[in-house]
Amino acid sequence: MTDAVDVELRDITKAFGDFTAVRDVSFAVPRGTFFSILGPSGCGKTTLLNLISGFQEPTAGEVWIAGQRVNGVPPNRRKVNMVFQRLALFPLMTVFDNVAFGLRMAKVPQAQVRSRVMAMLETVGLTGMERRLPSQLSGGQQQRVAIARCLVLEPAVVLLDEPLSALDLKLREHMKLQLKHLQREVGTTFVYITHDQSEAMVMSDRIAVMNEGQVLQVGAPDEIYSLPCHPFVASFVGESNTFQGTVVELSEDSAIVKDGAVQMQLSRTPDMAVGQSYLQFLRPENVRLLPLDGDRDRPENQVRGRVQSVIFDGAIVRCLVNIGRDRPLTTLFTRGTTQAVPYVGETVRLGWRAADVIAFPAQHRDQMMQLQKAQFAEV
């Protein structure tokens, strides 16, 4: 363990009776990073956080915090602090007293308490509100009090369990950016739990994607999105057009995979063989609308279809194109470019590059099951 790592889990397993909630989880959280644990409800996120904070002990494996092995060390002796899903502010205490509470408990001298609390309130943008009660604040302001109360104790690591989930959509969007800025400013390591992939993408330096008690991939947001290493990750993070097809032809560097009426070319991987079943993912923004008869632009895959619907979402236009037998393909493009927006019923030509198709062998039934579950969880 080097100095630059704040939290490390080594082969952590947690069983409750004969149910294993977390299985063989290992990852390291570099100091000063915003690290998110992302996964659907029930996948073991809170359990993992409880193992880091010390509220629960692992069945097997080691937990390291700031260079120390902390198995068996009680929560109050670990250099971590937790912000919960539901705020636990003291309703009858002022904002100042809420934030000062932990410092007073730790018998920090009065003058120091005052200066540290005031400085922290300034950091979270609550100067002037120190005499208010929590009920006299907005949801977002209350959340900032909870975070200030935690940060004022200067923990090495802050653990946050879905702290924005109680807020309405607009406020959540706003707090996302604020929380990210705050983390940058104070430089404290944040371990942040969420089931919302967009939240994780916006805020994190690194993301661990979890499903059914296992961590499937750890990486930067862009890596997770562009180079998913598991079908679950590809389907849970971001939007995709999905296919399940059979390899019908192989050449040196490409493969042809057929899914019913749709046949597409993709990059060949060393383990591909004719007759094998593959899951394919295609990001909507990689599906381009091509001129109907132009031959300048020739991506390896091209189909014609009829526009089924056009949805304007601010600067983004989302277009559903039926490419046969009720198979819709989603394409996204930005408004305001030279591209004309198609109309419903229009015949269009779509194209995508072989290199943009992400494929995984689908011989494992459990992968399919996980995938269906993930899609269900997204709805």
CA distance 249 to 272: 10
The item of ligand ATP, Mg ion, none sharing an interface with residue 21, based on CB under 5 to 8 Å by kind, is ligand ATP
Coil, strand or helix at 175: helix
* Structure tokens given for 198: 């967009």
Site for Mg ion in 309-338 (CB under 5 A): none
- List 33, 36, 46, 241, residue binding ligand ATP (CB under 6 A): 46
| From Mg ion, ligand ATP, none, interface partner of 47 (C-beta below 5 to 8 A by class) | ligand ATP
Backbone angles phi, psi at 266, to 5 degrees: -145, 170
CB of residue 262 vs ligand ATP: minimum separation in angstroms? 35
| Contact between 151 and 160 (Cβ < 8 Å) | no
In angstroms, rounded to a whole number, what is the distance separating the alpha carbons of residues 215 and 13? 11
Q: 280 near 355, Cβ under 8 Å?
A: no
Sequence-ordered list of residues with C-beta below 8 angstroms from that of 379, at least 6 positions apart, any chain: none
Q: Where does this chain touch ligand ATP (CB under 6 A) — which range of 16-24, 74-82, 128-136, 336-344? A: 16-24
CA angle 106, 111, 116 (to 5 degrees): 70
Q: What is the smallest separation between the CB atom of 47 and ligand ATP, expressed in angstroms? A: 3
* Residues 311, 15: Cα–Cα separation, whole Å: 46
Query: Which one of the spans 38-46, 143-151, 335-343, 359-367 is the region binding ligand ATP (CB under 6 A)?
Result: 38-46
Interaction between residue 16 and ligand ATP (CB under 6 A): yes
Kindly tell me which residue out of 149, 172, 195, 206 binds ligand ATP, with binding defined by CB under 6 A. 195
CB of 283 to ligand ATP, least distance (A): 25
* 308: Cβ contacts below 8 Å, ≥ 6 apart: 320, 321, 322, 328, 344
Q: Which stretch binds ligand ATP (CB under 6 A): 36-44, 224-232, 256-264, 265-273?
A: 36-44
Question: Pick from ligand ATP, Mg ion, none: which does 55 bind, CB < 5 to 8 A by kind?
Answer: none
Q: How far is the CB of 198 from Mg ion (least distance, A)?
A: 18
For the CB of residue 66, give the shortest distance to Mg ion in the complex, in Å.
24
Exactly one of 41, 110, 115, 338 binds ligand ATP (CB under 6 A); which one? 41
70 touches, from ligand ATP, Mg ion, none (C-beta below 5 to 8 Å by class): none
Q: Whose Cβ is closer to ligand ATP: residue 85's or residue 244's?
A: 85
Residues 6+ apart with CB under 8 A from 6: 29, 30, 31, 32, 65, 66, 156, 157, 189
Residues contacting 242, CB < 8 A, separation 6+: 235, 279, 280, 281, 282, 371
- Rule CB under 5 A: say whether 50 interacts with Mg ion: no
Distance of alpha carbon 218 from its chain centroid, rounded?
10
Contact 199, 3 (CB under 8 A): no
Identify each DSSP E strand in 169-259 by its residue range: 189-194, 206-211, 214-219, 241-250, 254-259
Task: Please report how close the Cβ of residue 165 comes to ligand ATP at its closest, in angstroms.
Answer: 9
Residue 343 near which of Mg ion, ligand ATP, none (CB within 5-8 Å, type-dependent): none
Instruction: List helix spans (H) across the chain.
Output: 45-53, 95-105, 110-123, 139-151, 169-186, 197-203, 221-226, 231-236, 365-378
Residue 78 binding result from Mg ion, ligand ATP, none, given CB thresholds of 5 to 8 Å by partner type: none
- By beta-carbon proximity to ligand ATP, the closer residue of 33 and 211 is 211
The three-state secondary structure class of 51 is helix
From the list ligand ATP, Mg ion, none, partner contacted by residue 142 (C-beta under 5 to 8 A by kind): none
CA atoms within 13 A on the CB side of 279: 23
**Cβ distance to ligand ATP smaller for residue 15 or 332:** 15
Q: Tell whether residue 45 is a contact of ligand ATP (CB under 6 A).
A: yes
Site membership for ligand ATP, residue 43 (CB under 6 A): yes
Q: Does 46 bind Mg ion (CB under 5 A)?
A: yes
Binders of Mg ion: how many residues, by CB under 5 A?
1
> Dihedral (C-alpha) 117, 123, 129, 131: value to the nearest 10 degrees?
0
Nearer to ligand ATP, 55 or 312 (CB): 55
Q: Which residues bind Mg ion (CB under 5 A)?
A: 46
Q: Which residues bind ligand ATP (CB under 6 A)?
A: 16, 19, 21, 39, 41-47, 195
